[in-house]
Amino acid sequence: MVWWLWVVLLVAVVGLLSAATLAVQARRRAGTVIAVRGGRRPGRGGRL
């Protein structure tokens, strides 16, 4: 069993999750809201 492959995969997943949360927080601070499917329709407020 290749244990280091699982370690690399786990680190990659954790890194992607943290990067995604940081990006969402940064966009919320900037005032832009990411369009969620089923939520507001894009183009209504002029912003996505």
Q: Nearest 10 degrees: CA dihedral of 28, 32, 34, 36? A: 100
DSSP notation for 15-27: HHHHHHHHHHHHH
Cα separation, 25 vs 10, in Å, equals 23
Q: How far are the Cα atoms of 14, 35, 41, 44, 45 from residue 26, in angstroms, in the given order?
A: 18, 15, 22, 22, 20
Q: What are the tens digits of pLDDT across the range 2-46? A: 899 999 999 999 999 999 999 888 877 777 665 555 555 555 555
32 and 48 Cβ atoms separated by less than 8 Å: yes
Predicted pLDDT of residue 9:
97
Q: What is the pTM of this model?
A: 0.51
